Structure 1
Amino acid sequence: MDAHQEDRYPDVTAAGGLVTALRRTAERRGRDIGLSPWATDADEAVIDTPRGYLTVTANTATGERSFRLRVHIPEAGWDIGATDDLGTLVDAVAAWREGVPNGELEARFGFLNLTAFTAALEAGEPTATQWADLLSSAYHRGLRDLLRRLHADAVLRNAFPTVTHRAVRLRVDPMHWESRQVLVRETEEGRYEVLRTGVPGADWTEVPGEDLTVRLRAALYDG
């Protein structure tokens, strides 16, 4: 058997690497898979999407050709399928980026298995883990009272929290970094300031403690 026959990935070899092979396949099929124009060839291709980021790797551990697809969200990642067909994989990535629902994705692409990933989202991950990490963090102990107050609210605890410049950022969708979000900081005991990000001309607004949760709920989920 010659060297060409032994190569399970001749398309990748001919392209000079996995990233280039994916990019060329997407161009031929008229698909937008979101590969950065600056991405260089490596053993793993990384693709940012509004639903976490995807990685593609070529299996080299066995004698079978397969491209593994994995989805990552903060603090976690899941294998969601593998296929030997680069074109099918490109089609699936494009559909994922377009927001095709999980059930339809599995129906259209038989190699996908989203059960574990979907179950994690339904269980409140990665939001629950992020809250637990922040509430137990010694580094953020100065914000612990504010974090506890926000987490105590049954609605606000469903928002994904991060800490930036001594303020707590709450984001509606942990999978989408540009989803609706609001910043809140404590200026003095019982007094707070709130900023709705992404709104032209928005500025910090002082909010008394008794109105805080109502204002934050409205900023995140109303209108």
Structure 2
Amino acid sequence: MDTHRKDLYPDVTASGGLVSAMKESAKLRGGAIWPATSAADAVTIETARGLVSVVPATEERRFRVRVHVPGFTWNVPGFTWEIGSTDRLELLTQMVAAWWEGVPFDELTARFTFLELAEFTRALEGGEPTSSQWADLLSTEFHRRQWRLLRRLHEDEALRHMFPTISHGAVRLRVDPLDGASHQVVVHEREGDRYEVRVGVPGAAWVEVPTGELIAHLRAALTEQ
């Protein structure tokens, strides 16, 4: 961190970096200490509402906050929203803690006036990033082998509102696009129009499902979770 940055962020420098500074601030307010990674002075916190990143500005003292939902493959950037900025470390820490704890969006906006959540919440209400994710998967040649299964799942009104990803050839659908641990199912298409389905956490047993019963089975599995 150069001299200019030291002048802008003396509290961060004194703490040994932004991760340490935010954790010390959280301790002072008696709040949660969240897992965090850092790179090039930025901090990323994994939450049930996506990845929250904090990037200190270089031209003025300003902590910029973004929310990111990863894409479906390593080379797809995903979805990112700028949701505000503040020059106060303690206010930043309180906001991130409240976000991590799942405080409702309207309450967050009332408590932290520097937040600008209109674009983010409007995107969620409009079906993003789920609709874009479906469109990308259904048009990416790399996933041509999964197109038939993807189209079949997308035809169902309930399943098309779930967030799709592909891993090791299997299609994963989860209820919440921002929460990788939300209710989900994994479907693997085998030869001969056979499907294997796994519900819930990794390591759960695969269940073979007849072609004609796939959609009904998925709907029932999600209801039972």
What RMSD over aligned residues (CA atoms) do the two structures have, in Å? Answer: 2.1
Secondary structure of the corresponding residue to residue 163 of structure 1: strand
Name the larger-Rg structure. Answer: 1
Counterpart Cα distance in 2 of 1:187 and 1:68: 46
User: Tell me, which stretches of 5 or more residues in structure 1 are unaligned?
Assistant: none
Number of aligned positions between the proteins: 215
Structure 1 residue ranges (4+ consecutive) displaced by more than 4 angstroms after TM superposition: none
| Cα deviation 1:188-217 (Å, max 9, x = unaligned) | 3433221113288x4222222221111111
Which of 128, 131, 136 in structure 2 is aligned with 1:133? 136
Give yes or no for the alignment of 1:156 onto 2:152: no
Give yes or no for the alignment of 1:73 onto 2:79: no
Name the TM-score, length of structure 2 as normaliser: 0.88
Q: 41-50 vs 123-132, which deviates more?
A: 41-50
User: Tell me, which stretches of 5 or more residues in structure 2 are unaligned?
Assistant: 71-77
Flag the 1:40–1:53 CA change in 2: closer, same or farther, 3 A.
closer
Q: Percent identity?
A: 54
| Cα deviation 1:84-131 (Å, max 9, x = unaligned) | 111011001101011000000001111111101001111111111111
Name the TM-score, length of structure 1 as normaliser: 0.88
> Shift of the alpha carbon at 1:78?
1.1
| Cα deviation 1:148-206 (Å, max 9, x = unaligned) | 11111111111111112222111111111111111112223433221113288x42222
Counterpart Cα distance in 1 of 2:41 and 2:207: 48
Q: Could you say which residue in structure 1 is the equivalent of 2:116?
A: 113
The answer (yes or no) to whether the contact 2:27–2:33 under 8 Å persists in 1 is no
Q: Could you say which residue in structure 2 is the equivalent of 1:82?
A: 85
Please give the residue correspondences for 1:1-223 in structure 2 after superposition, counting only pairs within 5 Å.
7-36=7-36, 39=37, 42-61=40-59, 64-74=60-70, 75-198=78-201, 202-223=204-225
